[in-house]
Amino acid sequence: MDSMPDTETPADLLAVRLENVQLTLPSEAGDVHILRGIDLRVPRGEAVGIVGPSGGGKSTMMMVIAGLERASRGTVETAGVDLMPLSEDSLALFRRETVGIVFQDFHLIPTMTALENVAVPLEFKGGEKRDQIFERAQQQLEAVGLGHRLFHYPGQLSGGEQQRVALARAYAGEPKILLADEPTGNLDRETGEVVMDLLFDLHGRAGTTMLLISHDPVLAERCDRVVTLADGRIACDRQAVE
């Protein structure tokens, strides 16, 4: 394995620490080994591109980091929190406070306006009055160039605009870690480039740790580091080409 493991960053400065993470799921044909001993350390503020063949474990590893999938064994620490012993309720609270996620398929609520979609995680998070929540949601939409689309529903927006709403929603709660799973997968190249420029701009301004799954090697190289997964293992871990 072509690997550059991080052995110098102190544990309290790591955003992600995976040690011998394994995930095995039962099936009628026998156990299916999805993750086969993942070791990964990501310092705070770093952007990591995750690449590799389909079925290699990229999305599953990301779901484990977010606490959406529970590892069968190993150590999973995200933002300094050990996820393995947490209950489902505790994991949900952890995600609400810590993690922002952007998916390929946007996952916007079709019956809510762009403004309402961005406000949803802020309302769940609590701690602010309703007018403050909507003010912050508006600011996030303005930051991604959608100040003129506040009251449009997802069905009235283009794919690129919907993904920009998803970006605004993911960053609205000021997450410590952003997980992006093929965020341009449903967009044409030109629109995808606009969305990715926004994503990296938000990452830089917020100083958020970012893990980005992409089939586009050029896009992955925009990160600080590129990790290749194949057959449930890390096949390569290297600095991105400048």
159-179 pLDDT per residue, tens: 999 999 999 999 988 899 999
| Cβ-based neighbours of 33, under 8 Å, separated by 6 or more | 22, 23, 24, 232
Who wins on pLDDT, 143 or 125? 143
- pLDDT tens-digit profile of 9-22? 777 789 999 999 99
Residue numbers of the domain that contains 9: 2-239
208 CB contacts (<8 Å, ≥6 apart)? 45, 100, 171, 175, 176, 177, 178, 202
CATH number at residue 226: 3.40.50.300
Residue 211 has pLDDT above 90, yes or no: yes
pTM of the full structure: 0.90
> Residue 7: which pLDDT band, with cuts at 50, 70 and 90?
low
Question: Does residue 199 carry a pLDDT above 60?
Answer: yes
Q: Which helix (H) or strand (E) holds 78?
A: strand 73-78
What would the pLDDT profile of 180-194 be if each residue is shown by its tens digit? 999 988 888 888 888
| pLDDT of 1 higher than 50 | no
How many structural domains compose the chain? 1
